[in-house]
Amino acid sequence: MAAATSMAAALAASLPAPQAAPAPSAPTYEAIPASMAKVIDIEAEIPITSVQLDAIVVSKITKHAKEAPGSSAHGLLLGLDLDGTLEVWNSFALPHHSNDDDDKSAKGVARYQSSMLRSLKEVQADDSVIGFYQGMTLGSFFNQTLVDTQAIHQERLRHGGVVIVHDISQTARGNASFRAFRLTKAFLDAYKRHNFSTSSLIDHRLTFSTILEEVPLKIRTNALVSSFLGALSEATPSTTTQSSPALATSSAAIPPSYSRLNLGTGNTARNLEMVVEALDNYKTEEGNLAYLQRQIARERAKAEAYVAKRKEENATRIAAGLAPLPEEDVSRLFKIPPEPSRLESMLLLGRIDAYGKSLEETASTGLVKMYAAKANAGN
Amino acid sequence: MPLGPPSSAVFIQNTAPGFISTPGRPPTSVTVHPVALFSILDHYLRRTDAQERVIGTLLGTRSDNGEVEVRSAFAVLHSETEVQVAVDMEYHRTMYDLHHKVNPKEVIVGWYSTGSNLNTYSALIQNFYSQETAPHQAIHLALNTGVEEGQKAGVQAYVGSPVGVNPKPENCVFVPIPCELRFNDAERSGLDLLTSNLSDSVNATFTNPSSDLELLERSLVSVYEMLDRVLSYVQSVLSGEVKGDAAIGRYLMDALGPSTEDLERGEFNSHLQDTLTVSYLANLVRSQAEVSARLALVKAS
């Protein structure tokens, strides 16, 4: 026994001592220092309070919206959220697909998107999608596709995406308009349940104005761009300056424009047409809703009549001493159609409101301009 | 609007009206849209530390009289060492296909680089791009970001033409052609938005989109200032301090003289009434929509 152990010991001694396998170094968790906590926000805890657009995004969206046929310009926004501000640093346009070939076009768009993101990543541009943009005319951005896309984004993206809406007609008038929106919680809740019946609307207190909430937006030009633009628009002194300083002209690369002072009627006629059209659509929609409601009421009345009749029969049978007939499940006999969704009519109302608002704005500026012109001539 | 510091270059080109350029001839002038400029600047900002200059492709349209319009630009991977230069052609193809899907009218018209030094590598890259744009010639846009000392920010456009005895691709002289910044109404508004706070050095980086009325106010204020200047000039001429310039005087008379009396009587009032009606109607429609929305919430029980 002792020999065995000693032999074992000798053998063990001759073998290289098994190295204690190095314990895998436990990952050391360091807390993010407080100074950086606002910037490195891994759990997406800081809520978004404002949106910031870069100069290049402004010009890209403007260009795409102008060139796209109709009002079908839409694309994705890329950027990052920093300390409560969603910064949009780049954007790209998505090809417009017709709605005929839904399957193929959806895949085509997805392929385009992934390919573009990959390419952008290679040149060290950003590739994190934070929302999408949509171009529209005269205020008509309340439509089903916008709501659907935003709902999808809001679920999948960190912080939920924002949708930037760009008004082409207002830009053509001289005021580049960009507004950022998000779906409200109440609306998202109702949307998830796919329930837009009257009762659900009341519960969530949904009107067209509470579907989207606006997020304050500002435009940022980084230092390089602003210095470049500054160099372009600085006035080059002309020869007449020496003689009459009061008449110094600026022959800058970007001379000031006075197109806003035009006294034209602008798009008023078109705007009014669209208001009328939207009102017609709304009337049709309301008509449909009323028809469906009437049908529901009718079915319900029939079902109740049946139940009442059954009860009566049972009463007579009990009085006659026979066994009562089973009260059948009424819902199987009479199909009561479900409550109609009022989403479409809500969206139409929102559109009517938006058209009215843009009409108001053009009318108010028109008034000011007319009185200014009158003041000049009428003296 | 010229882009960049005035140069002493004499542009030799044929801009007579009715000049139709055949595919082989060089382009006669270049117009650039602001989107392309911003893309290039953005790419320059994002470059890695190793790269001194960045290059990329220009997309745009060509018109019949030899004018090239640069509509947009995208970055292309490239590496430049002492010995060789390499451009990622695959990447260039992919990005061009993607862009083409969105905008079928734009074609490759040339390439850009930041930094205005033109060396052998530029000639090689120019040759490569000329093959892409065949049968037309590629234009080269050299954008100087003005970051380095002593160099003013600006853009210059060149066309390559062979020089020397042997037609090798590296032998190429860059001929400057005139280059302008052009924008349409929509882009103009966008640019206004971006440059509106340039003079205000405190807030130079951030601007808020403002409403129509605010912008109108700004335009009216600037017109008011212009009128003030004109008034002070006229008064100084009348009091004899400054010798009046006849041309300016005639111009002022033309601009401010004619009255709009007859125009005003007839259509002005009706237009005013129309505008008021539209305003009232718009308010009515809005309140109607609001009431309708609230009504839907009332449960009929």
The ipTM value here is 0.79
What mean pLDDT do residues A206-221 have? 80
Structure tokens at B263: 């125009």
Put simply, whether B238 touches A (Cβ < 8 Å) is no
Which of the listed residues A168, A197, A224 is the one where a domain comes to its end? A224
Q: What is the CATH number of the domain that holds A82?
A: 3.40.140.10
User: Do residues A92 and A153 share a domain?
Assistant: yes
Give B-chain residues touching A96 at CB under 8 angstroms.
102
With an 8 Å Cβ cutoff, are B223 and A258 in contact?
yes
In a domain, A254, yes or no: no
DSSP per-residue codes, A308-375: HHHHHHHHHHHHHTPPPPP---HHHHS-PPPPPP-HHHHHHHHHHHHHHHHHHHHHHHHHHHHHHHHH
For residue B247, what are the contacts with CB-CB under 8 A and spacing of at least 6?
none
The region of weakest confidence among A316-320, A337-341, B179-183 is: A337-341
In a domain, A294, yes or no: yes
In a domain, A238, yes or no: no
With an 8 Å Cβ cutoff, are B185 and A230 in contact?
no
What mean pLDDT do residues B144-158 have? 72
Question: Quick one: pLDDT band at residue A293, thresholds 50, 70, 90?
Answer: confident
Say if residue A326 is exposed, middle or buried (CB neighbours under 10 Å; 0-12, 13-18, 19+).
exposed
**What is chain A's Cα-based Rg?**
34
What mean pLDDT do residues B28-42 have? 83
Whole-angstrom distance, CA of residue A13 vs CA of residue A29 = 40
Nearest to A112 among B47, B98, B296 (CB): B98
What mean pLDDT do residues A35-51 have? 69
Put simply, whether B185 touches A (Cβ < 8 Å) is yes
Put simply, whether B51 touches A (Cβ < 8 Å) is no
Closest chain A C-alpha to B175 CA, distance in angstroms: 23
Please name the residues between 127 and 166 in chain A that touch chain B, using a CB distance below 8 Å. Answer: none
Structure tokens at A335: 């199909």
With an 8 Å Cβ cutoff, are B198 and A257 in contact?
no
With an 8 Å Cβ cutoff, are B72 and A63 in contact?
yes
Nearest to B198 among A174, A230, A258 (CB): A230
Q: Chain-wide mean pLDDT for chain A?
A: 73
In a domain, A204, yes or no: yes
Which of the listed ranges A16-20, A346-350, B240-244, B280-284 does the model predict with the highest average pLDDT? B280-284
Whole-angstrom distance, CA of residue A285 vs CA of residue A136 = 23
Over 80: is that where the pLDDT of A213 sits?
Answer: yes
Give B-chain residues touching A362 at CB under 8 angstroms.
212, 278
What mean pLDDT do residues A366-375 have? 78
Put simply, whether B226 touches A (Cβ < 8 Å) is no
For residue A240, what are the contacts with CB-CB under 8 A and spacing of at least 6?
A247, A248, A249
> Residues B151, B116: contact at Cβ < 8 Å?
yes
Whole-angstrom distance, CA of residue B243 vs CA of residue A313 = 113
Put simply, whether A122 touches B (Cβ < 8 Å) is yes
With an 8 Å Cβ cutoff, are A252 and B95 in contact?
no
> Residues A206, A190: contact at Cβ < 8 Å?
yes
Nearest to A125 among B3, B46, B220 (CB): B46
Nearest to B275 among A226, A356, A370 (CB): A370
Give A-chain residues touching B49 at CB under 8 angstroms.
none
User: Do residues A68 and A213 share a domain?
Assistant: yes
Whole-angstrom distance, CA of residue A209 vs CA of residue A99 = 28
Choose between A254 and A53: higher pLDDT: A53
Which of the listed ranges A20-24, A48-52, A202-206, B242-246 does the model predict with the highest average pLDDT? A48-52
> Residues B223, A258: contact at Cβ < 8 Å?
yes
Nearest-CA neighbor of A165 among A138, A185, A141? A141
The region of weakest confidence among A104-108, B139-143, B205-209 is: B205-209
Put simply, whether A88 touches B (Cβ < 8 Å) is no
User: Do residues A201 and A83 share a domain?
Assistant: yes
Whole-angstrom distance, CA of residue B190 vs CA of residue A229 = 13
Q: Residues A273, A137, A116, CA angle at the centre, nearest 5°?
A: 150
Nearest-CA neighbor of A170 among B284, B206, B101, B213? B213
pLDDT given at position A253: 45
Every domain of chain B and the residues it spans: 2-181, 185-256, 265-300
> Residues A134, A146: contact at Cβ < 8 Å?
yes
Which of the listed ranges A197-201, A331-335, B69-73, B184-188 does the model predict with the highest average pLDDT? B69-73
For residue A338, what are the contacts with CB-CB under 8 A and spacing of at least 6?
A197
Whole-angstrom distance, CA of residue A77 vs CA of residue A214 = 17
**Biggest CA pair distance of chain A:** 129
Residue in the block written with tokens 């000031």: A256
Please name the residues between 291 and 320 in chain A that touch chain B, using a CB distance below 8 Å. Answer: none
Give B-chain residues touching A346 at CB under 8 angstroms.
293, 296
With an 8 Å Cβ cutoff, are A172 and B103 in contact?
no
In a domain, A33, yes or no: no
Question: Quick one: pLDDT band at residue A379, thresholds 50, 70, 90?
Answer: very low
pLDDT given at position A201: 66
Question: Quick one: pLDDT band at residue A39, thresholds 50, 70, 90?
Answer: low
Whole-angstrom distance, CA of residue B120 vs CA of residue A375 = 64
> Per-residue pLDDT tens for B164-196?
776 676 677 788 888 888 777 667 777 777 666
pLDDT given at position B108: 87
User: Pseudo-torsion of CA A177, A182, A187, A188, nearest 10°?
Assistant: 150
For chain A, the domain total comes to: 2
Q: Chain-wide mean pLDDT for chain B?
A: 76
Question: Quick one: pLDDT band at residue A245, thresholds 50, 70, 90?
Answer: very low
pLDDT given at position A252: 43
Structure tokens at B7: 């140069």
What mean pLDDT do residues A165-178 have? 77
Supply the pTM of this predicted model: 0.76
pLDDT given at position A173: 72
**Chain A residue whose CA is closest to B286:** A353
In a domain, A110, yes or no: yes
The region of weakest confidence among A141-155, B192-206, B228-242 is: B192-206
> Per-residue pLDDT tens for A246-289?
343 443 445 566 666 666 666 778 888 888 888 888 888 888 88
Which residue of B47, B105, B185, B252 to mutate against A (max A Cβ within 10 Å)? B185
The CATH code for residues B2-181 is 3.40.140.10
For residue A306, what are the contacts with CB-CB under 8 A and spacing of at least 6?
A330, A333, A334
pLDDT given at position A156: 76
**Chain A residue whose CA is closest to B92:** A119
> Residues A337, A297: contact at Cβ < 8 Å?
no
Choose between A367 and A171: higher pLDDT: A367
> Residues B106, B71: contact at Cβ < 8 Å?
yes
In a domain, A278, yes or no: yes
User: Do residues A364 and A276 share a domain?
Assistant: yes
What's the residue count for chain B? 301
User: Do residues A219 and A273 share a domain?
Assistant: no
With an 8 Å Cβ cutoff, are A217 and B209 in contact?
yes
Give B-chain residues touching A352 at CB under 8 angstroms.
285, 288-289
Domain span holding position A283 = 268-378
Give A-chain residues touching B271 at CB under 8 angstroms.
265, 370
What mean pLDDT do residues B274-291 have? 88
With an 8 Å Cβ cutoff, are A123 and B268 in contact?
no
Put simply, whether A119 touches B (Cβ < 8 Å) is yes
Which of the listed residues A170, A189, A224 is the one where a domain comes to its end? A224
Whole-angstrom distance, CA of residue A255 vs CA of residue B93 = 38
Put simply, whether A3 touches B (Cβ < 8 Å) is no
> Residues A94, A105: contact at Cβ < 8 Å?
no
In a domain, A13, yes or no: no
Residue A376: phi and psi, rounded to 5, are: -70, -45
**What is chain B's Cα-based Rg?**
27
Strands in B29-32's sheet, in edge-to-edge order, are: B172-177, B154-162, B139-144, B107-114, B55-62, B67-75, B29-32, B179-181
Give B-chain residues touching A202 at CB under 8 angstroms.
297, 299
Give B-chain residues touching A238 at CB under 8 angstroms.
none
> Per-residue pLDDT tens for A54-109?
888 888 888 888 877 666 778 888 888 877 788 888 888 887 765 545 566 677 77
Put simply, whether B34 touches A (Cβ < 8 Å) is yes
